[in-house]
Chains A and B, each alone.
Chain A
Amino acid sequence: MQSNAASDEAVDFTALSARLKESDPTAFEVLFRHLRRRLVAFVWALVRDADVADDIVQDVFVELWAGRKRIDADRSLKALLYRMARNRAYNHLRDRKTRRAKGDMIRTEMRLLTTSNGHEAALDAEMLGEALNRWLLELPERRRDALLLSRYEELSHAEIARVMDISPRTVNNHIVRALRELNERLTRYKATAQP
């Protein structure tokens, strides 16, 4: 159930930005319907709680509307929204005791082990895709976020840099390291699966 919106090329974020600044409610709704689901998916990848993810994104849009006059129409609106969402996600994780997050991680790892041990036949591409996705979500935060934003949210290096408050160079490093780590896990996975 992906977003029913057009691809980003079809949406003129600069124009929306300007109209939003003018308190145009239609522009606000277009933006909402275009980006909301992606934002929820992104936040969910961070917090792993569907209800919380929904709430956080709603809050982001409430905040956006409240501060619409302060929008800088020259800067990426997308990046702004992802930044707001990401910050809130981490606030939530910090406020909640981190013990629980670790618990989630442990459960995921155990599931993963079961999958590789029970895996007898040759590699199944689809299962592998799933495994890769799980590993992605388990990456260290910065590497994971940079890869998520690049791979699934289609943000440019410059935009990701704005979201994460780092330099574009560092964005690149995070993505490369993320891919390297996934590559290592993939190699180990293949090794254990071979008869």
Chain B
Amino acid sequence: MSERRISQLPDEIGRDLHPAERAELVDVWARLGEPSTTRMRDDSQAWEDLQRRIAHGKAARPHLGRRFVLPPRRLIAIAIAASVLIAASIAMLGNTRSTVITAEPGAITEHRLPDGSSVLLNSGSRIEYRSRFHRGLVAERRREVRLHGEAIFDVAAGHRTFVVETLHARVTVEGTRFNVRSWTGAHDVGTSVTLLSGRVRVHAPDGSVALLERPGDVSRIDADRESIERLSVEIDRADAWTRRGFVMEDAPIGAILDELARRHAVTIETAANVDLAARMSVFYNSDADVRTILQDISLARGLTFSRTSVGFLLETG
């Protein structure tokens, strides 16, 4: 604030007053100290909130959590004990910021993306995208989401291409529903894309592209092979996890146990002589108990399992 204002009554005020009275008012004016005010959030936070309000096209209501970074409107937790971790990280340049959404082990959660698309996240999975699909007040050229884990995307129609990026593949989409599975770790490393409806193009690091057009079309990119393998599956099996089912087709035991552990939020240990590379298939179309599944696996592979303080232990029988 300029010095002039703080100490001196502006000339234009009280011009017609008697000098003596005006002198008193000059005194009062000077005595008015710093205005009492309230604590308020900083400009950058407020700016982020403002962009959010503008993007949503209407003024927010006072009682909604405006001081926190909220995920887009609809959030449906399918799992009973679901909790979603949302971390916002502020990018170095400009006003861009990423939203990270994680489904905790044991949880299956659904989220709406800024463009109206929705994504179902399987246990232990994580997606990251630039908030609002905007940079500042300007829309990005494409809608991009990075995925680690497994998710089903229901992509809203729009001019901009919808892109899902995993460590091994890039999936471009126009108005479609598809399952993307991409894990790192010891087993089952690579990306699988299953088309549920619509059309999807999968791009591999080596430049090859697969077009998925029929529901059930699968493209698989293994981490070591880097080119695309095509398969076909029944739709019911690809999205069984959304009904809390458990389906894994011709997968290494290690991968099956990893998935089981994530889905049920338990730790599954194995004795050294258990062959984790051996392949098998399991089909549970709807909610299946972890013990039931372990029992079946043990029977099929000649193993035994026992309870531990943190989950289960599998050993050769």
**Chain A residues in the interface with B (C-beta under 8 A):** 1-2, 4, 7, 9, 25, 28-29, 32-33, 36-37, 40-41, 44-45, 50-55, 58-59, 61-63, 65-66, 125-126, 128-130, 132-134, 136-137, 148, 150-152, 154, 156-157, 172, 175-176, 179-180, 182-183, 186
Contact = CB atoms under 8 A, between A and B. Distances in A.
Contact of B50 (A44, A61, A150, A180): A61
Contacts of B39: 1, 50
Interface in B168-204: none
Given A7-B1, A25-B137, A175-B13, A134 B36 contact: yes
Nearest to A29: B47
Given A154-B2, A154-B5, A179-B14, A59 B59 contact: yes
Given A172-B12, A179-B29, 15 more contacts: A2-B34, A7-B1, A25-B136, A44-B38, A50-B38, A54-B40, A62-B53, A62-B59, A125-B31, A133-B33, A150-B13, A151-B5, A154-B2, A172-B13, A182-B32
Interface residues of B, number: 42
A132 B33 contact: yes
A129 to B, nearest CB: 3
B90 interface: no
A37 B45 CA distance: 12
B112 interface: no
Contacts of B315: none
Chain B contact surface mostly: loop
A180 B25 contact: yes
Contacts of A1: 39-40
A186 B12 CA distance: 23
Contacts, number: 128
B62 A44 contact: no
Of residues B2, B31, B58, B66, which shows the largest number of chain A Cβ atoms within 10 Å of its Cβ? B31
B28 A179 contact: yes
Nearest to B62: A55
A55 B36 contact: no
Given A61-B50, A129-B33, A151-B5, A157 B43 contact: no
A25 B138 contact: yes
B50 A179 contact: no
A180 B37 CA distance: 23
